[in-house]
Chain A
């Protein structure tokens, strides 16, 4: 049977091209600083948590879920324990008010009744603390829309810039010490030109920061042991 490849490739390529053409501009920088040797064994897992909002942190739930999904995805995916499940199982020691702010609080935490056993049972080797957020830092232009009995339309041009700055502190629960930090700093400028029909060219800064941070975290935790 002969397959018309143009029919299969055509729509996919068009969608891909449109996606590339219709996205805004993104610049990103992902860095890490290592403080200890990492590695993860079979049956070991990680948990992603937000730094406490009592300390002014604004990390979005959406971002934490995104990093959890991205770290767990694929053949090299890590075993990720959902953060709410972890927090509930160790109540009240990882509530926003009571969670340890520094690794020097870990030895005392592990001595509390049942804590070390719960953590060992869940297989959590690393706690990854996220802080940071995505903010709109600039914007401009003007866009107006009108509608009447004969139809409607928009005219103008608007743009805005979002900065997504996130930091992940990796704590190794085996050595009760900090393993290092990974950070993602992504800036995205979106455009919205409109000539009757608005054409959004969206730069997804938060999504890019999520992918970048998750990829770097995976390398940070796994690759060191493979080297």
Chain B
């Protein structure tokens, strides 16, 4: 090998090492949401999975020094399919082009992503990766009218010290999705009144997944934390 070739190879290795240090790609596996300790609502819902839920990619440049790409893949679709499967007696998963009126359902839910953001330790000056997701749920009744348009804000945080950066970001995203799941379990019925829309499943009276708060609205009902209200009102 000539000296010239040697130099070129050395240069290529240096450049690729430098570029490798400036860009990170994180691919999400579909999250596994634990079976929640709740009672199912006797409602048959249709869940329309939008196209973006099958392959959502978010890119972010951090102060011009790092490029981060997170590919959520089908993790959002997995989250909503699992969660609503736990929350409702019957769930029909609809594709983006399916005609909801041809299904025997009480309500149709269309989730979407309003915003996705994350921060890395260099930005926050901490050891933690943080992920914010704002979903939007549109709920339609049997006639196709919109009965609710509800933003759901969720947050997850994971420290980077115990694991590789990509694992920490992945973990923060999973925690944000679990947070969104917790919000929906706690508040979906109160925000949309969906438990009252059930006719397709038996004759039983509608039972919300989580009992509504008493008239006094005491915080101890759902063991709320200080930020819960603020998060949900955002957007």
Contacts and interface: CB of A to CB of B under 8 A. Distances in A.
A22 interface: no
A109 B210 CA distance: 11
A66 to B, nearest CB: 11
B225 interface: yes
B182 A113 contact: no
A7 to B, nearest CB: 39
B37 A91 contact: yes
Interface residues of B, number: 33
Contacts of A105: 220, 223
Given A91-B37, A95-B182, A108-B220, A62 B225 contact: no
B179 A97 contact: yes
Contact of B225 (A55, A60, A89, A93): A55
A204 to B, nearest CB: 14
Interface in A86-140: 88-93, 95-102, 104-105, 108-109, 112-115, 118
Contacts of A104: 220
B20 to A, nearest CB: 23
A88 B31 CA distance: 13
A90 B127 CA distance: 28
A19 to B, nearest CB: 23
B6 interface: no
Interface string B88-110: 00000000000000000000000
24 contacts: A54-B155, A54-B226, A54-B227, A55-B226, A58-B128, A60-B127, A60-B159, A61-B159, A62-B159, A88-B34, A91-B33, A91-B34, A92-B37, A92-B185, A96-B179, A97-B231, A98-B222, A98-B223, A101-B223, A102-B220, A105-B220, A108-B221, A112-B38, A114-B37
Interface of A: 52-55, 58, 60-62, 88-93, 95-102, 104-105, 108-109, 112-115, 118
